[in-house]
Amino acid sequence: MTLLIAKWIWALGVIGWFVIRYPHQRRSRRTPKQRRAGGWREIVLMTISSTGLGVLPLIYVLSEQPRFANYPFSAWQGWLGAGVFAASLWMFRRTHKDLGRNWSVTLEVRQQHALVTGGVYSRVRHPMYSAFWLWALAQALLLPNWIAGPAGLVGFGTLFLLRVAREEQMMTETFGEEYRAYMARTWRVFPGIY
Q: What is the DSSP letter of 70?
A: B
Q: Is 133 in the site for ligand SAH (CB under 6 A)?
A: no
Alpha carbon 118 to its chain's center: 19
Helix axis angle, 75-99 to 3-30, nearest 10°? 10
Residue count of the chain: 194
Q: What is the DSSP letter of 35?
A: E
Of residues 164-193, those binding ligand SAH (CB under 6 A) = 167, 171
Nearest to 16 by CA among 8, 6, 27, 5: 8
Residue 39 Cβ, how far from ligand SAH at the closest point, in Å?
Answer: 14
Nearer to ligand SAH, 9 or 99 (CB): 99
- Rule CB under 6 A: choose which of 70, 95, 139, 145 binds ligand SAH: 95
Residue 136 Cβ, how far from ligand SAH at the closest point, in Å?
Answer: 14
Nearest to 116 by CA among 94, 100, 133: 100
Residue 63 Cβ, how far from ligand SAH at the closest point, in Å?
Answer: 33
Interface residue list for ligand SAH (CB under 6 A): 95, 99, 102-104, 107-109, 115-116, 121, 125-129, 167, 171
